[in-house]
Amino acid sequence: MTQTSAGAHGLSPAPARTAPRLPGIRVMAHPRRRDQAEALLARLHGDDRALVLDPDPEGPPGPLRTAAAAWAGPYGEARHRLVLQDDVVPAENFLDLVAEAVRSRPDDPIAFYSNWNHWNGSAVRLAALSGAGWARAIPDEYAPSLAVVLPRALAADFADHARRLLAHGTPPDDEALSAFLRERGRALFIAVPNLVEHRGGDSLVGNDVQGPRFSPCFADDAAGGHRGSSTLGALDFYPHFFKGHVYGIVPTGPGGRYTKAYWDEAVQRTGVDPVLVREAARREPTPAALLRDLAGAGLHIHHATAAWTAAVLYGITLERLPAPTDAGSRGPDPAVRARAVETIPLGGLAQVVGLPLLHRVMEPLRRLTEEGLRAGAELATATRD
Protein backbone atom coordinates (compact mmCIF):
# COMPACT_ATOMS: atom_id res chain seq x y z
CA MET A 1 0.00 0.00 0.00
CA THR A 2 1.29 3.44 -0.84
CA GLN A 3 2.32 5.42 2.22
CA THR A 4 1.05 8.98 2.56
CA SER A 5 3.95 10.23 4.63
CA ALA A 6 5.56 13.54 3.78
CA GLY A 7 8.94 11.84 4.04
CA ALA A 8 11.75 13.46 5.97
CA HIS A 9 11.88 17.08 7.04
CA GLY A 10 8.80 18.55 5.49
CA LEU A 11 5.26 19.58 4.99
CA SER A 12 3.26 17.93 2.25
CA PRO A 13 -0.29 18.23 0.95
CA ALA A 14 -2.92 15.96 2.45
CA PRO A 15 -3.97 13.10 0.18
CA ALA A 16 -6.88 13.27 -2.25
CA ARG A 17 -10.35 12.96 -0.76
CA THR A 18 -13.14 10.46 -1.29
CA ALA A 19 -16.77 10.43 -0.20
CA PRO A 20 -17.22 10.76 3.59
CA ARG A 21 -18.75 7.96 5.66
CA LEU A 22 -19.00 7.55 9.42
CA PRO A 23 -16.98 4.70 10.89
CA GLY A 24 -18.38 2.12 13.24
CA ILE A 25 -17.99 3.47 16.79
CA ARG A 26 -16.93 1.59 19.92
CA VAL A 27 -16.43 3.12 23.36
CA MET A 28 -14.25 0.86 25.52
CA ALA A 29 -14.39 0.95 29.30
CA HIS A 30 -13.91 -0.90 32.57
CA PRO A 31 -17.25 -1.65 34.29
CA ARG A 32 -16.30 0.80 37.08
CA ARG A 33 -16.66 3.55 34.47
CA ARG A 34 -19.75 2.25 32.76
CA ASP A 35 -21.86 5.33 33.51
CA GLN A 36 -19.16 7.64 32.16
CA ALA A 37 -18.77 5.51 29.05
CA GLU A 38 -22.52 5.37 28.41
CA ALA A 39 -22.72 9.16 28.70
CA LEU A 40 -19.96 9.47 26.10
CA LEU A 41 -21.64 6.99 23.77
CA ALA A 42 -24.92 8.90 24.05
CA ARG A 43 -23.17 11.94 22.54
CA LEU A 44 -22.13 9.97 19.47
CA HIS A 45 -24.83 9.37 16.91
CA GLY A 46 -24.75 6.64 14.29
CA ASP A 47 -26.21 3.31 13.28
CA ASP A 48 -23.15 1.29 14.29
CA ARG A 49 -22.10 2.20 17.81
CA ALA A 50 -21.67 0.14 20.95
CA LEU A 51 -20.18 0.06 24.42
CA VAL A 52 -17.45 -2.56 24.96
CA LEU A 53 -16.67 -3.49 28.56
CA ASP A 54 -13.57 -5.26 29.87
CA PRO A 55 -14.33 -8.98 29.42
CA ASP A 56 -12.27 -9.83 32.53
CA PRO A 57 -12.67 -6.88 34.92
CA GLU A 58 -11.19 -8.84 37.83
CA GLY A 59 -8.06 -9.70 35.84
CA PRO A 60 -4.73 -7.85 35.84
CA PRO A 61 -5.13 -4.11 35.04
CA GLY A 62 -4.70 -3.37 31.35
CA PRO A 63 -6.90 -2.10 28.53
CA LEU A 64 -5.66 -4.48 25.81
CA ARG A 65 -8.37 -7.07 26.60
CA THR A 66 -11.03 -4.47 26.00
CA ALA A 67 -9.23 -3.03 22.98
CA ALA A 68 -9.09 -6.48 21.33
CA ALA A 69 -12.86 -6.75 21.62
CA ALA A 70 -13.47 -3.15 20.55
CA TRP A 71 -11.45 -3.50 17.34
CA ALA A 72 -12.97 -6.87 16.42
CA GLY A 73 -15.85 -7.38 14.00
CA PRO A 74 -18.52 -7.58 12.91
CA TYR A 75 -18.10 -4.43 10.84
CA GLY A 76 -21.32 -4.36 8.83
CA GLU A 77 -21.08 -1.78 6.06
CA ALA A 78 -18.55 0.41 7.88
CA ARG A 79 -15.22 0.81 6.13
CA HIS A 80 -13.52 2.05 9.30
CA ARG A 81 -13.70 1.46 13.05
CA LEU A 82 -13.39 4.31 15.58
CA VAL A 83 -12.45 3.27 19.11
CA LEU A 84 -12.60 5.77 21.99
CA GLN A 85 -11.68 5.27 25.60
CA ASP A 86 -14.21 6.31 28.21
CA ASP A 87 -12.18 9.23 29.63
CA VAL A 88 -12.23 11.54 26.60
CA VAL A 89 -14.17 14.68 25.83
CA PRO A 90 -15.00 15.00 22.11
CA ALA A 91 -14.79 18.36 20.38
CA GLU A 92 -17.83 20.20 19.13
CA ASN A 93 -19.07 18.63 15.88
CA PHE A 94 -16.78 15.70 16.61
CA LEU A 95 -18.29 13.14 14.25
CA ASP A 96 -18.45 15.60 11.36
CA LEU A 97 -14.75 16.31 11.89
CA VAL A 98 -13.97 12.60 12.12
CA ALA A 99 -15.80 11.96 8.84
CA GLU A 100 -13.81 14.74 7.20
CA ALA A 101 -10.55 13.30 8.56
CA VAL A 102 -11.40 9.83 7.27
CA ARG A 103 -12.34 11.27 3.91
CA SER A 104 -8.92 12.96 3.76
CA ARG A 105 -7.00 9.81 4.74
CA PRO A 106 -9.16 6.79 3.92
CA ASP A 107 -6.27 4.30 4.00
CA ASP A 108 -4.35 5.59 7.02
CA PRO A 109 -4.51 4.96 10.77
CA ILE A 110 -5.58 8.23 12.41
CA ALA A 111 -5.33 9.38 16.02
CA PHE A 112 -7.35 12.28 17.40
CA TYR A 113 -5.39 12.92 20.62
CA SER A 114 -1.84 13.33 21.83
CA ASN A 115 -0.40 14.01 25.30
CA TRP A 116 0.94 17.54 25.70
CA ASN A 117 4.27 16.51 27.25
CA HIS A 118 5.06 13.35 25.31
CA TRP A 119 6.93 12.93 22.04
CA ASN A 120 3.89 13.02 19.79
CA GLY A 121 2.63 16.07 21.64
CA SER A 122 5.73 17.83 20.31
CA ALA A 123 4.95 16.69 16.77
CA VAL A 124 1.36 17.93 17.07
CA ARG A 125 2.49 21.25 18.53
CA LEU A 126 4.98 21.80 15.70
CA ALA A 127 2.25 21.03 13.19
CA ALA A 128 -0.08 23.55 14.85
CA LEU A 129 2.63 26.22 14.96
CA SER A 130 3.49 25.69 11.30
CA GLY A 131 -0.07 25.56 9.98
CA ALA A 132 -0.22 21.85 9.20
CA GLY A 133 -3.42 19.88 9.77
CA TRP A 134 -1.67 16.55 10.31
CA ALA A 135 1.37 15.32 12.19
CA ARG A 136 3.03 12.04 11.36
CA ALA A 137 3.41 10.25 14.70
CA ILE A 138 6.89 9.43 15.97
CA PRO A 139 6.91 5.64 15.59
CA ASP A 140 9.06 4.83 18.62
CA GLU A 141 6.56 6.26 21.09
CA TYR A 142 3.34 4.54 22.12
CA ALA A 143 0.39 5.20 19.84
CA PRO A 144 -1.96 7.73 21.51
CA SER A 145 -4.89 5.34 21.66
CA LEU A 146 -7.54 7.39 23.46
CA ALA A 147 -9.29 7.98 20.13
CA VAL A 148 -8.14 6.17 17.00
CA VAL A 149 -9.72 5.19 13.69
CA LEU A 150 -8.41 2.30 11.60
CA PRO A 151 -9.44 1.08 8.17
CA ARG A 152 -11.56 -2.05 8.48
CA ALA A 153 -8.92 -4.58 7.37
CA LEU A 154 -6.29 -3.05 9.65
CA ALA A 155 -8.74 -3.03 12.58
CA ALA A 156 -9.41 -6.74 12.11
CA ASP A 157 -5.68 -7.45 11.84
CA PHE A 158 -4.97 -5.54 15.04
CA ALA A 159 -7.78 -7.31 16.89
CA ASP A 160 -6.21 -10.66 15.98
CA HIS A 161 -2.75 -9.36 16.91
CA ALA A 162 -4.01 -8.15 20.31
CA ARG A 163 -5.61 -11.53 21.07
CA ARG A 164 -2.32 -13.28 20.30
CA LEU A 165 -0.48 -10.92 22.64
CA LEU A 166 -2.98 -11.57 25.41
CA ALA A 167 -2.10 -15.25 25.35
CA HIS A 168 1.28 -14.25 26.81
CA GLY A 169 0.40 -11.33 29.09
CA THR A 170 -1.32 -7.94 29.13
CA PRO A 171 0.90 -5.31 27.47
CA PRO A 172 -0.52 -1.77 27.29
CA ASP A 173 -2.82 -1.30 24.31
CA ASP A 174 -1.04 1.89 23.18
CA GLU A 175 2.36 0.16 23.07
CA ALA A 176 0.84 -2.85 21.34
CA LEU A 177 -0.73 -0.66 18.65
CA SER A 178 2.51 1.25 18.09
CA ALA A 179 4.53 -1.96 17.66
CA PHE A 180 1.83 -3.43 15.41
CA LEU A 181 1.96 -0.43 13.06
CA ARG A 182 5.79 -0.39 13.03
CA GLU A 183 5.93 -4.07 12.13
CA ARG A 184 3.65 -3.44 9.17
CA GLY A 185 5.41 -0.30 8.02
CA ARG A 186 2.31 1.80 8.60
CA ALA A 187 2.52 5.41 9.74
CA LEU A 188 0.00 6.83 12.21
CA PHE A 189 -1.24 10.35 11.50
CA ILE A 190 -2.55 12.66 14.23
CA ALA A 191 -5.25 15.23 13.46
CA VAL A 192 -4.25 18.82 14.30
CA PRO A 193 -5.82 20.33 16.31
CA ASN A 194 -6.75 17.26 18.32
CA LEU A 195 -10.42 16.32 18.26
CA VAL A 196 -10.64 14.88 21.79
CA GLU A 197 -9.36 16.02 25.16
CA HIS A 198 -8.39 13.81 28.06
CA ARG A 199 -10.92 14.14 30.86
CA GLY A 200 -8.53 13.44 33.71
CA GLY A 201 -9.54 11.73 36.93
CA ASP A 202 -8.24 8.54 38.51
CA SER A 203 -6.37 6.21 36.19
CA LEU A 204 -7.22 2.52 36.33
CA VAL A 205 -3.75 1.52 35.06
CA GLY A 206 -1.48 3.73 37.16
CA ASN A 207 -1.10 6.74 34.87
CA ASP A 208 -1.89 9.27 37.59
CA VAL A 209 1.85 9.68 38.18
CA GLN A 210 2.00 11.44 34.80
CA GLY A 211 0.03 14.42 36.11
CA PRO A 212 -2.36 16.31 33.82
CA ARG A 213 -2.48 14.60 30.42
CA PHE A 214 -4.09 17.24 28.27
CA SER A 215 -3.80 17.79 24.54
CA PRO A 216 -1.15 20.20 23.20
CA CYS A 217 -3.85 21.75 21.02
CA PHE A 218 -7.48 20.68 21.53
CA ALA A 219 -9.89 21.98 18.91
CA ASP A 220 -12.29 23.47 21.46
CA ASP A 221 -9.41 25.44 23.04
CA ALA A 222 -8.81 27.03 19.64
CA ALA A 223 -12.41 27.98 18.94
CA GLY A 224 -12.97 29.25 15.43
CA GLY A 225 -9.61 28.00 14.26
CA HIS A 226 -9.29 26.23 10.94
CA ARG A 227 -7.39 23.04 10.21
CA GLY A 228 -4.55 23.16 7.75
CA SER A 229 -4.39 20.69 4.88
CA SER A 230 -0.68 19.84 4.85
CA THR A 231 1.17 17.16 6.81
CA LEU A 232 4.15 17.57 9.08
CA GLY A 233 6.34 14.63 8.13
CA ALA A 234 9.20 12.94 9.94
CA LEU A 235 11.85 15.35 11.26
CA ASP A 236 15.47 14.99 12.34
CA PHE A 237 14.85 16.91 15.57
CA TYR A 238 11.84 17.37 17.86
CA PRO A 239 12.00 19.54 21.01
CA HIS A 240 10.70 17.74 24.08
CA PHE A 241 9.83 19.51 27.35
CA PHE A 242 8.99 17.02 30.10
CA LYS A 243 8.78 17.43 33.89
CA GLY A 244 10.78 20.64 33.82
CA HIS A 245 13.63 19.21 31.73
CA VAL A 246 14.37 19.90 28.08
CA TYR A 247 15.35 17.19 25.63
CA GLY A 248 15.57 16.55 21.92
CA ILE A 249 14.12 13.58 20.06
CA VAL A 250 16.44 12.52 17.24
CA PRO A 251 16.74 9.61 14.78
CA THR A 252 18.96 6.75 15.79
CA GLY A 253 20.25 4.80 12.81
CA PRO A 254 18.23 3.48 9.86
CA GLY A 255 14.63 2.32 9.96
CA GLY A 256 12.95 5.45 11.27
CA ARG A 257 13.73 4.79 14.95
CA TYR A 258 14.16 7.66 17.44
CA THR A 259 15.76 8.24 20.81
CA LYS A 260 15.75 10.96 23.49
CA ALA A 261 18.84 12.97 24.45
CA TYR A 262 19.46 16.06 26.54
CA TRP A 263 18.78 19.15 24.46
CA ASP A 264 22.33 20.50 24.37
CA GLU A 265 23.53 17.30 22.74
CA ALA A 266 20.52 16.76 20.48
CA VAL A 267 20.28 20.34 19.16
CA GLN A 268 23.65 19.96 17.48
CA ARG A 269 21.78 17.94 14.83
CA THR A 270 20.34 21.26 13.70
CA GLY A 271 23.73 22.94 13.35
CA VAL A 272 22.97 25.41 16.16
CA ASP A 273 25.61 25.78 18.88
CA PRO A 274 24.01 25.05 22.30
CA VAL A 275 26.17 27.80 23.80
CA LEU A 276 24.28 30.34 21.68
CA VAL A 277 20.97 28.99 22.99
CA ARG A 278 22.14 29.44 26.58
CA GLU A 279 23.39 32.96 25.92
CA ALA A 280 20.29 34.14 24.04
CA ALA A 281 18.32 35.11 27.14
CA ARG A 282 21.23 37.12 28.52
CA ARG A 283 21.90 39.00 25.29
CA GLU A 284 18.49 40.64 25.04
CA PRO A 285 16.72 42.66 27.72
CA THR A 286 13.14 41.43 27.21
CA PRO A 287 13.59 37.72 28.03
CA ALA A 288 15.95 38.55 30.88
CA ALA A 289 13.34 40.89 32.38
CA LEU A 290 10.59 38.32 31.92
CA LEU A 291 12.66 35.66 33.64
CA ARG A 292 13.11 38.00 36.62
CA ASP A 293 9.40 38.82 36.67
CA LEU A 294 8.46 35.15 36.64
CA ALA A 295 10.90 34.37 39.45
CA GLY A 296 9.40 37.21 41.47
CA ALA A 297 5.91 35.79 40.88
CA GLY A 298 6.90 32.43 42.34
CA LEU A 299 8.07 30.41 39.34
CA HIS A 300 11.52 29.03 40.12
CA ILE A 301 14.18 30.49 37.82
CA HIS A 302 15.22 26.98 36.79
CA HIS A 303 11.72 26.24 35.53
CA ALA A 304 11.35 29.60 33.80
CA THR A 305 14.71 29.14 32.08
CA ALA A 306 13.74 25.64 30.98
CA ALA A 307 10.53 27.04 29.44
CA TRP A 308 12.60 29.64 27.60
CA THR A 309 15.02 26.99 26.31
CA ALA A 310 12.16 24.79 25.09
CA ALA A 311 10.63 27.72 23.21
CA VAL A 312 13.98 28.51 21.56
CA LEU A 313 14.24 24.90 20.38
CA TYR A 314 10.73 25.07 18.93
CA GLY A 315 11.71 28.27 17.13
CA ILE A 316 14.82 26.60 15.69
CA THR A 317 12.81 23.61 14.52
CA LEU A 318 10.07 25.69 12.91
CA GLU A 319 12.55 27.88 11.06
CA ARG A 320 14.21 24.79 9.58
CA LEU A 321 10.96 23.48 8.07
CA PRO A 322 10.66 23.97 4.33
CA ALA A 323 7.84 26.05 2.96
CA PRO A 324 4.59 24.06 2.58
CA THR A 325 4.13 22.52 -0.86
CA ASP A 326 0.36 23.00 -0.62
CA ALA A 327 -0.50 26.07 -2.68
CA GLY A 328 -3.58 26.69 -0.52
CA SER A 329 -1.67 26.85 2.76
CA ARG A 330 -2.55 29.95 4.78
CA GLY A 331 0.02 29.49 7.50
CA PRO A 332 -0.87 28.78 11.13
CA ASP A 333 -4.35 29.71 12.26
CA PRO A 334 -4.07 32.37 15.01
CA ALA A 335 -6.30 30.54 17.49
CA VAL A 336 -4.62 27.17 16.90
CA ARG A 337 -1.18 28.73 17.12
CA ALA A 338 -2.02 30.62 20.33
CA ARG A 339 -3.07 27.44 22.10
CA ALA A 340 0.03 25.58 20.92
CA VAL A 341 2.22 28.42 22.24
CA GLU A 342 0.54 28.27 25.67
CA THR A 343 1.02 24.55 26.04
CA ILE A 344 4.79 24.64 25.52
CA PRO A 345 5.29 25.76 29.15
CA LEU A 346 2.05 24.25 30.45
CA GLY A 347 2.85 20.77 29.20
CA GLY A 348 6.48 20.90 30.27
CA LEU A 349 5.91 22.26 33.78
CA ALA A 350 2.47 21.11 34.95
CA GLN A 351 3.78 17.97 36.65
CA VAL A 352 6.45 19.79 38.65
CA VAL A 353 4.89 23.21 39.28
CA GLY A 354 1.16 22.65 39.12
CA LEU A 355 -1.41 24.31 36.90
CA PRO A 356 -2.69 26.90 39.43
CA LEU A 357 0.68 28.70 39.56
CA LEU A 358 1.19 28.40 35.81
CA HIS A 359 -2.20 29.91 35.12
CA ARG A 360 -1.44 32.83 37.46
CA VAL A 361 1.77 33.66 35.56
CA MET A 362 0.47 32.75 32.10
CA GLU A 363 0.74 36.21 30.60
CA PRO A 364 4.48 36.74 31.20
CA LEU A 365 5.06 33.05 30.48
CA ARG A 366 3.31 33.41 27.13
CA ARG A 367 5.43 36.45 26.29
CA LEU A 368 8.59 34.58 27.27
CA THR A 369 7.57 31.71 25.00
CA GLU A 370 6.98 34.05 22.07
CA GLU A 371 10.37 35.65 22.66
CA GLY A 372 11.96 32.21 22.72
CA LEU A 373 10.30 31.23 19.45
CA ARG A 374 11.60 34.41 17.82
CA ALA A 375 15.10 33.93 19.21
CA GLY A 376 15.19 30.34 18.02
CA ALA A 377 14.15 31.34 14.51
CA GLU A 378 16.93 33.93 14.44
CA LEU A 379 19.52 31.38 15.59
CA ALA A 380 18.44 28.91 12.91
CA THR A 381 18.55 31.62 10.24
CA ALA A 382 22.01 32.76 11.28
CA THR A 383 23.27 29.17 11.24
CA ARG A 384 21.81 28.58 7.79
CA ASP A 385 23.27 31.83 6.41
For the chain, the structural domain boundaries read 11-232, 261-384
Beta-carbon contacts of 309 under 8 Å, excluding residues fewer than 6 positions away, are 246, 263, 277, 278, 372
Each residue of 42-82: pLDDT tens digit? 999 989 999 999 999 988 888 999 999 999 999 999 999 99
- Top-confidence residue, 3 or 65: 65
Largest alpha-carbon pair distance within the chain? 63
310 alpha carbon, distance to own chain's centre: 17
Chain centre distance of CA 10: 17
Q: Which CATH class is domain 11-232?
A: alpha beta
Stated length of the chain: 385
Q: Which amino acid is at 356?
A: P
Tens-digit pLDDT profile for residues 196-224: 999 874 544 444 445 699 999 999 999 87
Q: Which contacts of 267-275 are long-range, i.e. CB under 8 A and separated by 24 or more positions?
A: 267/237, 267/313, 267/316, 269/236, 269/237, 270/236, 270/237, 270/316, 270/317, 270/320, 270/380, 270/383, 271/383, 271/384, 272/316, 272/379, 272/380, 272/383, 273/383
Read off the pLDDT band of 11 (50, 70, 90).
low
Q: Which residue has the higher pLDDT, 170 or 166?
A: 166
Sequence-distant (6+) residues with CB within 8 A of 363 are: none
Residue 356 neighbours by CB under 8 Å, 6+ apart: none
